[in-house]
Amino acid sequence: MILYLHGFASGPSSHKARVLSERFAALGAPLHVPDLTPGAEGFERSTPSSMLGIAEAALDRAGSPPHAIVGSSLGGYLAAVAASRDPGVEKLVLLAPAFRLFERWRARLGPGALEDWRSNGLETMHHASGRMRRIGFQFFEDAGAYPAFPVVRVPTLCIAGTRDDTVPLEDVEAFVERTPTARLVAVDDGHELAASLDRIFEEARAFLLGG
């Protein structure tokens, strides 16, 4: 099975998920794209652990390995965590993977904004529903339990933008430097990688399916 993990405040209907799903399905290799924050308040109550639990349950239901995971942004980081824990994951494709999750949130917000998040929740645009939603502080607290760079030993393709202002290219480079099985493809694009979908598909197809 090829599992696709969407990013923060996103969902199975994201543009990248839809495009890649359609193209891989045409090759007879459909992507399984679960909603990592399901339900009316699934996003508000979500944590990296709850999202990871949904991903790992999907792998369990898929039956016998090997499996591959394609992950975007937060989904890319969670894919790396899943691969570090599940020997059934054979390959990873990480798109602008959000390494240093806890550290980046802490540095970006600072003490004052973090305290406000603790008291009131953090309002953010939830792209999957197209409206502002407020995620609880449990997300940040839970993120602190995970490593900045998961230890991955399987073949890994990282695709990241040189103009990414959300997850610096240097963070992805740091992961690749410490992961002998990883390869980085840097593209002239931002965090969404919206202009690079053709390149992403071709690189991922060759890496996952061969040819």
pLDDT of residue 65: 86
| CATH code for the domain in which residue 42 is found | 3.40.50.1820
C-alpha 21/C-alpha 1 separation (Å) is 13
* Total domains in the fold of the chain: 1
pLDDT of residue 64: 85
Q: Nearest 5°: phi and psi at 98?
A: -85, 65
pLDDT of residue 70: 98
C-alpha 87/C-alpha 106 separation (Å) is 31
pLDDT of residue 67: 95
- Beta bridge partners, 94, equal 71, 158
Question: Which portions of the chain are predicted below pLDDT 50?
Answer: none
pLDDT of residue 211: 62
Whole domain around residue 16: which residue ranges? 2-209
pTM: 0.97
